[in-house]
Amino acid sequence: MTPTLIIVPGLGDSGPGHWQTLWQHRFGAGRVQQDDPDHPLPEVWAARLHEVVGATPGELVLVAHSAGVATVAHWARLFGAEDRVRGALLVAPADPGQPGMADLHPELLALAPLPLEALPFPALLVYSENDPYCTPERAEALAGAWGASAVSAGEAGHINVDSGHGEWPDGEILLSEALHAWTPPAVVRF
């Protein structure tokens, strides 16, 4: 059985040309829609993710971008393990501790501090070498703390529409590979 993708957007709810929105339509994914997508509050955003997870049947895969990555980390800390979550694709995390964040997006400061406990499900963190919201070193440190695998997307900016990632076919490949890795082998009985 194929798991249901749950899209966890960051600031601004990932607009119509964003790869998350395109994936939602292409794959029939669920989506976390925050009441105020421009002002993240960890407890509020995590609670909305918890509502969506609870209302979506079957196995799930979380697909988070930017502040949505922080939402997944806060959700795991606040609500614990959810056995139906097979894994998470965490893309371009926004680090509220990044130098200059107060100038880039001061609203992201509300997400600090990021939880550093291991996630209760497998995860793949995809980061960029030139993301203004998170250094490669910090992305790798977050992946290590969360027990996630990490992969560089090269110089891909914030892996959003502004950096030329509408469809993002490389992301689909990464998701497919991660899903394959997270799928337990079939039991064969003789």
Predicted TM-score (pTM) of this structure: 0.95
Question: What CATH superfamily is the domain 4-9+20-182?
Answer: Alpha/Beta hydrolase fold, catalytic domain (3.40.50.1820)
Domain map of the chain by residue range?
4-9+20-182
Half-sphere exposure (Cβ direction) of 57: Cα atoms closer than 13 Å: 1
The pair of structure tokens assigned to 85 is 């979550």
pLDDT of residue 185: 57
pLDDT tens, position by position, 131-143: 999 999 999 999 9
pLDDT tens, position by position, 25-53: 999 999 999 999 999 999 999 999 999 99
pLDDT tens, position by position, 88-110: 999 999 999 888 888 888 999 99
In whole angstroms, what is the distance from residue 89 CA to residue 123 CA?
A: 6
Share the mean pLDDT of the chain: 94
Number of CB atoms found within 10 A of residue 49's CB: 24
pLDDT of residue 186: 52
